[in-house]
Structure 1
Amino acid sequence: MSRPAILLAMEPSRTEHVLPDEILRRLGSIGRLLDSKPLQHFDDERAKRLLAEAEILITGWGAPYVVPDIPATAKRLRLIVHAAGTVKGIIDDSIFEAGIVVSHAAEANAVPVAEFTLAAIIFAGKRAFRFRDLYVADRNRDRTHPMQREAIGNYGRTVGIVGASRIGRRVIELLRPFDYRLLLFDPMLDAAEATALGTEKVDLDELMRRADIVSLHAPSLASTRHMIDAGRLSLMKDGATLINTARGILVDEAALLSELKTGRIDAVIDVTDPEIPQPGSVFYDLRNVFLTPHIAGAIGLERARLGEMAVDEVERFMTGRPLLYQIHQANLENIA
């Protein structure tokens, strides 16, 4: 079996740890790495020279858009593996139409998101952030002791999962050992499928009313934009928590901020719309908001999973085995 020519395209500053030395060595045992320095553009002379030889392209965060003229430039290209999450905004439809196989490592990125969500759910159930703030502010336990008698904690609480995506399913799996009641909203699943996952299928309004903790895992589609609006936020119980590790656009942000300002609910927010709130946004100041800068996905050493999964797919492709995470053009409409 000939060793395929492999090319990288990603932003090095955004993909550190994705392809550490041991993964590059493994990749080198499968094929010929044309250049260890990733492409950051497809229109310069170096890129055109390397693309003409490439049979496999591994992309990552910060990769240039794989434009329609790539099939003509890279006539030997057979496989693109995206060593990151979504391929939306990275792979043009013409790539699929040219018969080039596309796969991705979104499953690897789902792992840390689900872990982050699990931690957020547990902390939300314990009201850990409010305990912390009171304890630090008072430097005594005059107000934290009475809180322990409230109907809080993680025993018998109801968690609502919005979206049985790969991340949503992983969160459900991680929650199985705990004593939660799990509600699931996903219009693509029927009641039997929801039951098989260990959840109860409900509509979104019912989930918002019943859940103590609501966790969002739906894709960003035209149909899901602002699915969590003022009306649905008003359905949430007093003291409930909204967790968003999916996409900021799922939530009507003005409505959410209005609700949060009342202090009636809490929120754990890892994604916003816009991606970085304006400096004057009250997101930064509200005591009932735990705001993080889009870190639920793979960061630091967690990124090595992305590279490992990408190389696994290359190896499967080269040995004639079915790819585990191949993306078909018809899938694009419904994936995150």
Structure 2
Amino acid sequence: MTETTRTADGTAGRSVDVAAEGTRIAANIGRVIEGKPDVVRLALVVLLAEGHLLIEDVPGVGKTTLAKALAASIDATVRRIQFTPDLLPSDVTGVSVYDQETREFEFKPGAIFANLVVADEINRASPKTQSALLECMEERQVTVDGVSYELARPFLVMATQNPIEMEGTYPLPEAQRDRFTARVSMGYPDREAELAMLDERATTDPLTTLPAVADAATIKELITAVGTLHVAEAVRRYVVALVDATRRSPDLRVGASPRAGLQLLRAARAAAALAGRDHVLPDDVQALAVPVLAHRLLLTADATLARRSAEQVVHDLLATVPVPRGR
């Protein structure tokens, strides 16, 4: 899909090909993350939907590597925050410090002031520190001592976490989970990819030589182009029907929020653009329903005892909600 962007005064800017740019970035990340094209594509979808990505899996499968590879592929400001039990909210957002010379308080920005923020092992910090990200992720700003500071655009939080059953982890607050556009699990690589990794990374780390193939300005243009994609009323009604179905499911005590519907539609737009289309199909919504909705849902006690998962519930809803036909 090629779109002509608009400048601030409304005049036409240069044309951007979302599918071509996405393919270049994905290929670059694929030099480090082998055998995971679907995971890489979802990361790009979240980036172009101007959302945030939660990467959850056991240690050692490449969660941080994916985040760092995406960051390295874009020539933009990048900060990494290692979440630990003693991390303070001010370490994330920043703090006002009194300057003896000027006799005024000066704001010292925290690590959140970057285009791409890698929040490594986010669930090892206390809920209080995790909650410091709430305003940043939703409103793209930080408020300290009553003063609000805008964050740079594009702004993406890529958080990694281990399963909460593991020692030394805290569950993410429900409000924070809802701010993540999608959750993805890396999974183990197949045998061929793992064998290639053993051969190629015996002496060198490909991340150290990974070049940037896009910059922040290009990503902003891509995000703008994605926002212009046509979405038929039938597709919008389908998104609303899916979200509403989660609220009426007997297996769920908390369904998807209105924010979930907004983010599902934004992600579907990004997926359609990466596929080279200028309109969204119901297939785009269906393909993203599980990663966008499942992590927000809370199962009932009976569903938990029956060993149901939120992913299974979403799959069942996809099979029952009528799919619109035609464009």
- Establish whether TM, by shorter chain, passes 0.5: no
TM-score (norm 2): 0.25
Between 1 and 2, higher relative CO (CA 8 Å, sep ≥ 6) is seen in: 2
> Which has the larger helix fraction?
2
> Which has the larger strand fraction?
2
TM-score (norm 1): 0.25
In terms of Rg, which structure is larger?
Answer: 1
